[in-house]
């Protein structure tokens, strides 16, 4: 996915051992289509060479305010004109202090002050004591107040051997944050509640009844909603997926647990998106011990009870959230999906054919609302999720009041 195509980013490196990760970050930005101009402070060149960054970027690396390669010797002005963002990774304690005070004593600090409206993204990287120092915290707060976006820092083992906050985020995390930064904030300030994945209903302590669901679509939607500026709560059945950045996740197993977790949060949500493949039935009396096979080959007798319909329950809540359902069908998508939309009482239902999307990384969706059917073409699930979030933002009554 070339989310950063036609995007030029100024990548600034300052002094810190995390400079070694900046080489990988540069490659990841380029993989997503970005053109990257690297600017390094003198301190950064002690950790990684300009030659490395030049070879990887395929473009000149800038170090010096007086660099004569820029036509009018105005690198501090020219480099940010037309740039989509300035990304400082790693950002040292000293460099953050400089930025907070508007100092301009080298090329990178000067271009930050001269960048005008170009967004500034900062990935701090330093020892935990340096990060926790009141002056650094003051500078971080000042930078946020000045409109910069701080990415991290993360916590963990540090190069100095100490453990705690201050590690630069991993290149993939920074990449995702940069991509998220460029997504339109169509759900800014909204609270979105989602379900995703399968549920798993115990038969005994080792056996379960479940649905086939990777959780990919629900997790992609949670990420897309967070990228769009929403505060996102995800209630997830068992999956092998990482929780998207910035998303709060509650992990559950059974439909009953999912129902309880959703109902506890539904009244605070603006939008509820039910993506989970909820098991329709639970075993009425799961055995506390592992069931043994009968010598005569007789199968166990299982009694089932129907699980609560979570989506229909939320849709019935007075003053509840605006609801979106999913319908995975094997045939007659249009008839089944529209009937399901009316039965569940939701304004929007997203249909897909199981054989086209189950376990796949791509999906083809059809949106059903009171005006009819609206197809979303086959594409990677994250792109489809972003398209769906835009469609939800257009229809959501608080975002766009109907006249
Ligand atoms: O009835 P069916 O399972 O086909 O409906 C699918 C939609 O309803 C999905 O949005 C799914 O997440 C939701 N659902 C639910 N609780 C159930 C069954 C389905 O929220 N018990």
- Per-residue pLDDT tens digits for 39-50: 999 999 999 999
Residue 399: predicted pLDDT: 45
User: Of 147, 181, 215, which marks where a domain is finished?
Assistant: 181
Residues 224 and 151 in one domain: no
Structurally, how many domains does the chain consist of? 2
Is the minimum distance from the CB of 236 to ligand 1 under 6 angstroms?
A: no
Residue 307: predicted pLDDT: 97
Cα of 329 to ligand 1 centre, how many Å?
A: 12
Residues 221 and 175 in one domain: no
Q: What is the pTM of this model?
A: 0.92
What's the rounded Cα separation, in Å, for the pair 368 and 348? 6
Residue 71: predicted pLDDT: 64
Could you identify the atom of ligand 1 that is nearest to the CA of residue 349?
10
Is the minimum distance from the CB of 325 to ligand 1 under 6 angstroms?
A: yes
- pLDDT tens across 60-84, in order? 999 988 777 766 667 778 889 899 9
What's the rounded Cα separation, in Å, for the pair 148 and 331? 50
Could you identify the atom of ligand 1 that is nearest to the CA of residue 327?
6
Quick one: DSSP state of residue 46?
Answer: G
Could you identify the atom of ligand 1 that is nearest to the CA of residue 255?
21
pLDDT at 400 exceeding the cut of 70: no
Is the minimum distance from the CB of 195 to ligand 1 under 6 angstroms?
A: yes
Cα of 371 to ligand 1 centre, how many Å?
A: 22
Q: In a mutational test of the pocket of ligand 1, which residue from 271, 277, 309 has the highest number of ligand atoms less than 8 Å from its CB?
A: 309
Which of 112, 160, 249, 323 is catalytic? The answer is: 160
User: Of 128, 160, 181, which marks where a domain is finished?
Assistant: 181
Q: Which domain holds residue 50?
A: 8-181
Cα of 340 to ligand 1 centre, how many Å?
A: 9
Residues 151 and 206 in one domain: no
């Amino acid at each position: 996915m070339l989310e950063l195509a036609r995007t030029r980013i100024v990548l600034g490196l300052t002094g810190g051992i995390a400079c070694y990760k900046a080489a990988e970050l540069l490659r990841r930005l380029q993989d997503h289509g970005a053109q990257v101009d690297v600017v390094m402070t003198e301190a950064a060149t002690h950790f990684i060479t300009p030659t490395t960054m030049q070879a990887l970027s395929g473009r000149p690396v800038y170090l010096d305010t007086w660099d004569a390669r820029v036509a009018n010797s105005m690198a501090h002005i020219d480099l940010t004109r037309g740039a989509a963002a300035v990304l400082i990774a790693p950002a040292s304690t000293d460099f953050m202090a400089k930025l907070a005070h508007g100092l301009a004593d080298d090329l990178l600090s000067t271009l930050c002050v001269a960048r005008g409206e170009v967004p500034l993204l900062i990935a701090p990287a330093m020892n935990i004591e340096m990060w926790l120092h009141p002056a650094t915290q003051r500078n971080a707060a000042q930078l946020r107040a000045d409109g910069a976006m701080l990415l991290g820092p993360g916590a963990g083992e540090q190069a100095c051997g100490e453990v705690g906050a201050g590690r630069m985020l991993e290149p993939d995390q920074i990449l995702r944050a940069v991509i998220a930064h460029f997504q339109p904030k169509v759900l800014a300030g909204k609270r979105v509640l989602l379900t995703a994945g399968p549920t798993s209903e115990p038969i005994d302590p080792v056996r379960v009844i479940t649905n086939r669901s990777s959780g990919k679509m629900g997790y992609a939607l949670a990420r897309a909603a967070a990228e769009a500026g929403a505060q996102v709560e995800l209630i997830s059945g068992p999956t092998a997926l990482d929780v998207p950045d910035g998303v709060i996740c509650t992990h559950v197993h059974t439909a009953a647990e999912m129902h309880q977790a959703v109902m506890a949060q539904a009244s605070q949500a603006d939008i509820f998106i039910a993506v989970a493949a909820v098991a329709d039935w639970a075993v009425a009396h799961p055995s506390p011990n592992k069931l043994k096979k009968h010598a005569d080959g007789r199968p166990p007798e299982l009694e089932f009870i129907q699980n609560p319909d979570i989506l229909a329950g939320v849709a019935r809540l007075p003053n509840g959230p605006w609801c979106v359902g999913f319908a995975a069908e094997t045939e007659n998508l249009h008839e089944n999906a529209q009937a399901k939309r009316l039965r569940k009482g939701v304004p929007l239902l997203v249909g897909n054919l199981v054989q086209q999307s189950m376990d796949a990384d791509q999906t083809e969706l059809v949106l059903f609302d009171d005006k009819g059917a609206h197809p979303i073409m086959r594409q990677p699930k994250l792109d489809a999720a972003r398209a769906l979030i835009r469609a939800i933002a257009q229809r959501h009554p608080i975002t766009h009041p109907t006249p």
